[in-house]
Copies of this chain bind each other. A is one copy, B any other.
Amino acid sequence: MGTRYAIGVDIGGTNLRVALVSEEGRIIDKIKMPSSGDVMASLREAVERLGREGVAGIGIGVAGLLDRGSMTVLKSPNLPSMSGKSFKELGFTLPMVVENDANAAALGERWMGAGREYRNFVLMTLGTGIGGGIIHRGELLGVAAEVGHMSISADGEKCPCGNYGCLENYASARAIIEAAVKALEKGANSMLRECCMGNYYKISPEDIYRAAFEGDGLARDVLKEAGRYLGIGIANMINMMSPEAVILTGGLIGAWDIYIKEAIREASRRAFAGLVEGVKILPSALGGEDAGILGAAALILHEEKVSV
């Protein structure tokens, strides 16, 4: 019998990633496209390109709230064009499974990444938005785990999701950029002003880390403040799920030494001492890029039981 493969798909707020994954968890080939275009068409094309003998099915992780049975995206605040779409439209004949992207990333870390040693952990994806996935007794809890849409500021600003004061509004990449731009508009002195040929509305999170690591006060303040809020969210998750580890993934972990360190400090100060003492707060071991793809593939290759 030849090798078994699965196609793992990760549809996040910014990118669509499609990969051929072997049953040993190796990524054989990978296609990456922006998720701003026609996602369904791009996905069909990528699957056709990667398909080969031995592919057992297609696992899809997608940012948003899903109906697993009908494979429909019910709501996706960071991917509005996907709302209401069903992956059944694709007409693939291979077996298909859909899961929330952060849940898939949690499975990926459990299989091949930083979660291999833990039976109970919370994964948080830190990017444009903030997502979550919960592994309990080694299995993915098939719950929403919308960590980014936990209100941590009762009377905070309205979030596009309908709630107010969501964690995502204070600790995500979007929040960090907004905070930096607001300060620049008010005239704050910062090297970010020279960024993007003077158009600071184009600043990226990477521009902000870079400035912070070079000692820019505004960039450091913005990252620290976002980290403080992230720490509040982490403390809430520790008090709720008493995990052995919290695994952090997504682009923002690039700013570990400022943003995440501040989050760890804040979480340690706030969560129940008896719970937080033993908790490891760790970066993804899959570079923040591949966890979702691998987890989505695991849904097929391991007929991964999702505990719904």
The answer to whether B154 touches A242, judged by C-beta atoms less than 8 angstroms apart, is: no
A174 interfacial contact with B, CB 8 Å: no
A189 at interface, CB cutoff 8 A: no
The answer to whether B241 touches A163 (Cβ under 8 A) is no
Q: Which residues of B contact A232 (CB under 8 A)?
A: 151, 154
- The 0/1 profile, CB within 8 Å of B marked 1, for residues 104-137 of chain A is 0000000000000000100000000000100011
Question: Does A92 touch B at the CB level, under 8 Å?
Answer: no
What does the 1/0 interface line of A133-155 toward B look like (CB < 8 Å)? 00011000101111101111110
- Give the dominant DSSP class at A's interface: mixed
B272 touches A144 (CB 8 A): yes
Instruction: Confirm or deny: A209 has a beta carbon within 8 angstroms of a beta carbon on chain B.
Output: no
Chain A interface bracket (under 10, 10 to 19, 20 to 34, 35 or more): 35 or more
The interface bits of chain A over 200-220 (1 if a CB of B lies within 8 angstroms of the residue's CB, else 0) are: 000000000000000000000
A240 proximity list for chain B (CB < 8 A): 132, 143-147, 150, 240
| Contact (Cβ within 8 A) A151 B236 | yes
Answer yes or no: A69 CB below 8 A from chain B CBs: no
Q: Please name the residue on chain B nearest to A144 by beta carbon.
A: B242
B239 pairs with A273, CB closer than 8 A = no
Inter-subunit contact B144/A241 (CB<8 Å): yes
Cβ contact within 8 Å between B65 and A236: no
Measured in the bound complex, the distance between the Cα atoms of B259 and A130 in whole Å is 31
* Chain A 192-249 residues near chain B, CB threshold 8 A: 229, 232, 235-236, 238-242
Cβ contacts under 8 Å, A188 to chain B: none
Q: How far is the CA of A137 from the CA of B271 in the complex (A)?
A: 27
Confirm or deny: A274 has a beta carbon within 8 angstroms of a beta carbon on chain B: yes
User: In the bound complex, what is the Cα–Cα distance between A20 and B151 (angstroms)?
Assistant: 42
A230-282 residues at the B interface, CB under 8 angstroms: 232, 235-236, 238-242, 269-275
In Å, the complex CA distance between A97 and B269 comes to: 31
A238 vs B137: C-alpha distance when bound (angstroms): 21
Q: Judge whether A3 is part of the interface by a CB distance below 8 angstroms.
A: no
Q: State A239–B240 Cα separation when bound (angstroms).
A: 13
**A91 sits at the interface (CB 8 A):** no
Check B143 against A270 for contact (C-beta < 8 Å): no
A239 touches B270 (CB 8 A): no
Whether A144 pairs with B275 at a CB distance below 8 angstroms is yes
Q: Determine if B149 and A151 form an interchain contact, defined as CB atoms under 8 angstroms apart.
A: no
16 chain-A/chain-B pairs, Cβ below 8 angstroms: A65-B272, A65-B275, A75-B273, A75-B274, A120-B143, A143-B240, A144-B272, A151-B235, A152-B152, A152-B154, A154-B170, A162-B269, A162-B271, A163-B235, A164-B270, A240-B240
Closest 9 CB pairs of A and B: A144-B242, A74-B274, A146-B239, A163-B270, A150-B236, A149-B239, A143-B242, A65-B274, A143-B241
